[in-house]
Amino acid sequence: MTEKLGVMVCGHGSRDEAAVREFAVIAERLTERFPQWPVDYGYLEFATPIIRTGLDRLLERGVERVLAVPGMLFAAGHAKNDIPSVLNAYQAGKPGLTIQYGRELGIDLKMLRAAGERVQQALDAANAGPGGAVAPHDTLLVVVGRGASDPDANSNVAKVTRMLWEGLGFGWAETAYSGVTFPLVEPGLEMAAKLGYRRIVVFPYFLFTGVLVRRIYDATDRVAARHPDIEFVKAPYLNDHPLVIETFVDRVGEILEGANNMNCQMCKYREQFLGFEAEVGLRQESHHHHVEGLSAREAGGNDQGHHHDHGHAHDHDHAHDHGHGHSHGHAHGHDHHHHTHGHDHGHGHDHGHGHGHGHDHHHHPYPHADHPLGPRTLKEGA
């Protein structure tokens, strides 16, 4: 008798109700695509159901093997650390349950086509507007990513920018970020405005709406007001574009095929990444256990990537293992088709402390927090 499979979509969560609803739609679309399996979803924080609740519901439906996928564009801390930690903790208390973890949406031709269609949608509307058509060569594209303390995830946004720039033939393109890293949106747009293009298209490379998307559009309006000679066009974010759904379907299929590997070659926890050498081998664990299911107000934070400095003790041991000499039976880490999702960085240490005591588990400080175009040097709302 074969195991009963189920699909679990794991999200971060948001204090924005519209974003939470849009994420739930992804699960609905996957239910349509996988009528043979139960499909559920959950969030790390700021929204319900939490991931454990979604897993409980799958078990209530008789699921014995969960195919879990992160509902995230790129693999930074949430996809690499926090979600695997929650899955590990849950599986540890459920003998006989198997949870297999897939990879992020990542750089994917279907995702790039979806992005291109969103940008083209905005261009078509602008060309039909009162300002008339503007040639692509007279148009500058600004792609805005989430921003992370992981340079690999940030560089993926820049790759999306280049692919859209070259694919659609814009005169120029730039990349900006909504937080955590640099350049932030407003200084990025001010730089772009200096390049002399008639039109600037601002495209949030985000799955869902929320505070950050609104801030991107608000920053666009502020810069546009200072540059009335330039037409600023706000492109829609990805949302449930059919090709986004197709990419989720592919990620579930990869788990079954054993091809669900994250990119370890450019992982700052495994290799010496320029400027981030101090983070090689850092033990990884979730920073969300104490805020699961809480609203932003209850948790005392927000959904912008600055709420992880919790200063609390963990009594979970869910190491995120990026190493070589472990029990996966291969020479390349991050093979997420194993059952425990352990990701050891392969350095054989845990930095001299265990879990369950009062050690504060802060994120490692971002090395460029004082960048003049970055997160700490600008006024709130910039």
Tell me the per-residue pLDDT of 143-166, one tens digit each, with 9 for 90 and over: 999 999 889 999 999 999 999 999
31 CB-near residues (< 8 Å, 6+ apart): 39
pLDDT at 277: 66
Measured between alpha carbons, how far is 335 from 178 in angstroms, rounded to an integer?
30
Question: Pairing between strand 39-43 and 172-177?
Answer: unpaired
In this predicted model, what pLDDT tens digit does every residue of 306-361 receive, in sequence order? 333 333 333 333 333 333 333 333 333 334 443 434 444 333 333 333 333 333 44
Which range in 71-85, 183-197, 340-354 is most confidently predicted, on average pLDDT? Answer: 183-197
| Helix-strand-coil split of the chain, %, nearest 5 | 35, 15, 50
Domains, the chain, in order of start with CATH, read 5-106+244-344 (3.40.50.1400), 125-234 (3.40.50.1400)
Can you tell me the mean pLDDT for 86-102?
95
How many Å is the maximal CA-CA distance in the chain?
68
94 CB-near residues (< 8 Å, 6+ apart): 59
pLDDT at 371: 75
Can you tell me the mean pLDDT for 26-40?
97
Predicted TM-score (pTM) above 0.85 = no
pLDDT at 372: 76
Give the tokens for residue 108: 């994917």
Give the tokens for residue 368: 């460029």
Can you tell me the mean pLDDT for 75-93?
91
Q: Which of 34-48, 193-207, 220-234, 297-311 is least confident?
A: 297-311
Answer whether 85's CB lies under 8 Å from 320's CB.
Answer: yes
**Chain mean pLDDT for the chain:** 80
Give the residue, 376 or 132, on which the prediction is more confident. 132
Single-letter amino acid, residue 298: E
pLDDT at 78: 83
Give the tokens for residue 213: 């998307």
Q: Is residue 262 over pLDDT 70?
A: no
pLDDT at 244: 98
